[in-house]
Amino acid sequence: MRKNLSKLLSLCLMVILMLLAVAACGPAEGSEGSEGNGTDATDTAAPTQTGPGVRTDGKADQVGLILEGAISDMSWNSDAHRGLEKIGALGAEINYTENTGVSEAPDAIRAFAESGYNIIFLSSSSFQDVTKESAKLYPEIMFFVINATADEENVRSVQVQDFEQGFLMGALSALLSETNTVGFVGGFQFEPMIKGGQAFTVGAEYVNPDCKTIVEFTGDNNDVRGAKELAKAMVQQGADCLGTMAGPAALGVVEASEEEGVFSLPPGQNMNSVGPTSAVAPVMKDTSIAYEAVYKMFKAGELPESGFIIMGASKGVVYIGDFYIDIDPEVERQIKEIEASLAAGDIVIDLE
């Protein structure tokens, strides 16, 4: 009997010791994953997206924009600024610098970095080299450069399809022309603008193989007078519709068309203010859409692992805006059909 009682006591003692050991291995009261704070361990897991520009401190994104020109230009810089405002509407803290020269860009980048900005957009390929150098100093910041060719861990290039804008300008110019001669005035002569001029000719010939195109460049996006003089010279050569991709200088082309009584196709909204009877419709390259789309892609972790981020008609960036004046309904129908085909990828623009 005593032996049985002794065995029973020993067994009970072993069970008690085992229970105490199990309890000691469990989470302490109030620790993560316990019932003490009602928080499941998965609720406090680290964000799945990591890398340059990704905030892990719970604060809102701080997004900076560095512009070569002024936000009042009714064109490239104005559109970029509207894109930044769209990003701000998504909850980011935003700020910008305008009229920033390439030599001033490193200081602008440094100012943003020291203020805690985690994403910086630069509006032009002119900033590519200084961005690549600055990016080495700030590996935690994500940089996006418009129309550049950089492709690095924290520097990505957003390539806006300028040539698609030129193509649509050429196509609509040829549809409107009665003289079979149309003109294109470009601004600063660099690759995107050059391709825009080439595509203008391709677009005109797409709808009318016999259409003659005159393509010239001012060499300066701010040379309104020079653009106006080129436009008037084209009219003297028989051009009765003028397309332009020249930044603020495009206003000179629209003014010339109004004075000479020919059509014009401005590259941005509101330029019809200087050509109320001659400006037909804006052929838009709305980069504000591109800025917003790129930011959304970044936030969703959907940026391509490498390569350029392409923004054109298929993304709604390049399109024909509302018509300012009444034109032949058949012309409007045809250009809308061409625009839709371009956006769908059914038209391949060969610039070779």
Least confident of 41-45, 90-94, 173-177, 282-286: 41-45
Say if residue 30's pLDDT is above 70. no
In tens, the pLDDT along 227-276 reads 999 999 999 999 999 999 999 999 999 999 999 999 999 998 889 999 99
Q: Tell me how far apart the alpha carbons of residues 177 and 193 are, in angstroms, rounded to a whole number.
A: 23
Say if residue 175's pLDDT is above 80. yes
322-343 CB burial, b ≥16 within 10 A, e <16: eebeebeeebbeebeebbeebb
**Which pLDDT score is estimated for 44?**
33
Q: Tell me how far apart the alpha carbons of residues 164 and 319 are, in angstroms, rounded to a whole number.
A: 9
**Which pLDDT score is estimated for 75?**
86
Count CB-CB contacts under 10 A for residue 283.
29
Q: How confident is the model at residue 352 (pLDDT cuts 50, 70, 90)?
A: confident
pTM over 0.85: no
Average pLDDT (49-76) is 93
Q: Tell me how far apart the alpha carbons of residues 305 and 241 are, in angstroms, rounded to a whole number.
A: 43
Taking CA atoms, 158 is separated from 143, 201, 329, 331, in Å, by 10, 25, 36, 33
Matching CATH topology for 62-160 and 162-284+322-343? yes
**Which pLDDT score is estimated for 27?**
37
Q: What percentage of residues in the chain have a pLDDT greater than 70?
A: 86
In tens, the pLDDT along 2-21 reads 444 344 444 444 444 444 44
In tens, the pLDDT along 287-342 reads 999 999 999 999 999 998 888 999 999 999 999 999 999 999 999 999 999 999 99
Q: How confident is the model at residue 63 (pLDDT cuts 50, 70, 90)?
A: very high
Q: Which CATH superfamily is domain 62-160 in?
A: Response regulator (3.40.50.2300)
How crowded is the C-beta side of 287, counted as CA atoms within 13 Å? 27
The more confident residue out of 270 and 224 is: 224
Tell me the three state secondary structure of residue 94.
strand
Q: How confident is the model at residue 36 (pLDDT cuts 50, 70, 90)?
A: very low
**Which pLDDT score is estimated for 301?**
95
**Which pLDDT score is estimated for 268?**
87
Say if residue 281's pLDDT is above 80. yes
**Which pLDDT score is estimated for 83?**
98
CATH number of 162-284+322-343: 3.40.50.2300
Q: What rounded mean pLDDT belongs to the chain?
A: 89
Q: What is the 3-state secondary structure (H, E, C) of 150-199?
A: CEECCEEEEEECHHHHHHHHHHHHHHHCCCCEEEEEECCCCHHHHHHHHH
**Which pLDDT score is estimated for 12?**
44
In tens, the pLDDT along 181-195 reads 999 999 999 999 999
Taking CA atoms, 122 is separated from 132, 184, 246, in Å, by 11, 27, 19
Taking CA atoms, 137 is separated from 1, 64, 84, 198, in Å, by 83, 17, 24, 39
Say if residue 222's pLDDT is above 80. yes
Residues with Cβ within 8 Å of residue 137, at least 6 apart in sequence: 113
Pairing of β 142-146 and β 119-122? parallel
Average pLDDT (120-144) is 97
Taking CA atoms, 186 is separated from 121, 281, 335, in Å, by 25, 18, 22
Say if residue 73's pLDDT is above 90. no
**Which pLDDT score is estimated for 48?**
62
What percent helix, strand, coil does the chain show, rounded to 5?
Answer: 45, 15, 40
Domain boundaries, the chain: 62-160, 162-284+322-343
**Which pLDDT score is estimated for 49?**
76
Least confident of 42-56, 126-140, 188-202: 42-56
What is the enclosing helix (H) or strand (E) of 293? helix 287-299
Average pLDDT (169-198) is 97
**Placement of tokens 């790129």 in the chain:** 294
Residues with Cβ within 8 Å of residue 73, at least 6 apart in sequence: 247, 248
